[in-house]
Amino acid sequence: MSEIEEFDLLIVGIGIAGLPMAKTYLQVNPAAKLLVLEANQSIGGTWAKERLYEGLQSNNLVGMLEFSDFPMDFETFGVAPGSHVPGTVLHRYLAAYAQRFGVYEKVRFGCYVKSAELKGDGSWEVVYEKKDEDGGTDEVKVVAKKMVLATGTTSGEDMEKSENVVVAGGSKSAADAVYMTASKGRHVDWVIRKSGRGAAWLSWPYVSPFKLQFEKLPTIRAMTLLSPCFDSPSSPIRYLLHNTRLGRALVRGFFSIIHNDMLTLGKFNDHPDTKKLIPPGNVFWSGTSVGIFNYPIDLFSLVQKGLINIHLADVTSLTPETVNLSDGTHLKADTVVLATGWKLAPSIKFLPDSLTSEEKNWNFLPPTFKSQSRRRRQRDFFPISRIARPTPSTWPPRRSLQRTTLLPPLPQLHSPLFHPQ
């Protein structure tokens, strides 16, 4: 049996999260032993070469999906200002980044991690499979003092060519699947769960009469003052905006302009089916549930041509040939795409079993830390905020910015555009 290799740090995944982690660690600890395991055969994670398809491009405009120390300049990568970044260019950019900072030679491709066991001394014993030259697999065991899991939450499934496609889900990934099907001239039924929170917001890259780049709004310093974020420092301006009637009216007015502009520019009200894509809540609550219209062909024009039919109903059951909905509709389907999100569960089996709860949620933090943090967030956030959580059945509230009953703390409120889960 071969000797078990030992490393200072093991990173699982070399996508847009694992790559800068590896680069930064090598800069801080140039003499450290680093190993990166990647299941794909190329760098990029979601943007790996083997996962790209025709027409794939970023949701972001160029300049918003790059590392600050490695600009995606036009001379090298050929993406004009104000353009979305093609998937092939993003893959090439990430590969160039890995080579520029010495990460590439630390990566072992085609390695699928099966398990990671936390040992008594705090190190990790990791078992992974690697394909051999004969097409079989070899099981390899390594030990690392520290481990970073950067595997993301996306799947690697492909959608086959079909005549009757049903896409379930209201997120941007669902819209992408719908567009990819309809743009090829094939009909698709888009099902959005009626009992859920509706469709995610879809926006053009520039909004408001001032033509502000939508994805840059959270990065503007002044915008942080408009967000009732619990971890933002207090200031007289913040107090004025969130603790006075005049200030709350200004905040409400600003987001109403953005909200109405998105509806107008998107032409949501121009067709009965596109009206179904209007989210039930104000854009203020959108958070990460926002997609950008980055399609060569107008998505809503495909709706108007009858290539896309939108259904607001729950999927009750599936048969080999039909998708049955809660409103009594039976959709003929030979392909069903479930863009319904994911469970918070790692793809790797962690040992011992006590590290994860029965619900497969992370359980690394002590319960006392979690409860104290929860109480502190609720104490700090809600004296500032007067905004009620919207639901499909109650939105819009008659007085949306008035004092209300305290709600559970809202996670990840680091942006003026956020969405409580």
Task: Give the 3-state secondary structure of residue 203.
Answer: strand
Q: What angle do CA 75, 79, 80 make, to 5 degrees?
A: 95
- DSSP assignment of 278-289: S-SS-GGG-TT-
Map out the domains of the chain with their CATH numbers. Answer: 5-149 (3.50.50.60), 165-338 (no CATH), 349-381 (no CATH)
What is the pLDDT tens value at each position of the chain, 421 positions in all? 468 999 999 999 999 999 999 999 999 999 999 999 999 999 999 899 999 988 889 988 999 889 999 999 999 999 999 999 999 999 999 999 999 999 999 999 999 999 999 999 999 999 999 977 677 788 999 999 999 999 876 544 444 456 789 999 999 989 999 999 999 899 999 999 998 888 988 988 888 777 888 888 778 877 778 876 666 667 888 888 888 899 989 988 988 888 888 899 889 999 999 999 998 888 877 766 788 898 989 999 999 999 999 999 999 999 989 999 999 999 999 899 988 876 666 677 888 877 765 544 544 444 544 445 444 544 444 433 344 344 444 444 333 333 333 333 333 333 333 333 3
State the Cα–Cα distance between residues 148 and 150, nearest whole angstrom. 6
Q: Which residues contact 17 (CB under 8 A, 6 or more apart)?
A: 45, 150, 152
State the Cα–Cα distance between residues 63 and 82, nearest whole angstrom. 9
Q: Which of 200, 198, 238, 187 is nearest to 386 (CA)?
A: 238
Strands 212-213 and 206-207: antiparallel
Res 11: pLDDT: 97
Q: Which of 177, 165, 390, 411 is nearest to 288 (CA)?
A: 411
Asked if residue 30 has a cis previous peptide bond (ω within 30° of 0), the answer is no
Which residue is it, tokens 């991690």?
A: 113
Res 409: pLDDT: 36
The CB-side HSE value for 119 (13 A sphere, CA atoms) comes to 11
Q: Are 124 and 117 in contact (CB under 8 A)?
A: yes
Asked if residue 408 has a cis previous peptide bond (ω within 30° of 0), the answer is no
How far does the chain reach from its first CA to its final CA, in angstroms?
A: 49
Res 157: pLDDT: 44
The long-range contacts involving 117-121, CB below 8 angstroms and separated by at least 24 positions, are 117/350, 117/351, 117/352, 118/350, 118/351, 118/352, 118/355, 119/143
With 0-12 / 13-18 / 19 or more C-beta atoms within 10 angstroms meaning exposed / middle / buried, residue 304 is: middle
Q: Which residues contact 305 (CB under 8 A, 6 or more apart)?
A: none
State the Cα–Cα distance between residues 327 and 204, nearest whole angstrom. 32
* Whole-prediction pTM: 0.65
- Residue 218 has a CB neighbour count (10 Å cut-off) of 15
Which residue is it, tokens 């099966």?
A: 114
- Residue 84 has a CB neighbour count (10 Å cut-off) of 21
Rg of the chain, C-alpha, whole Å = 24
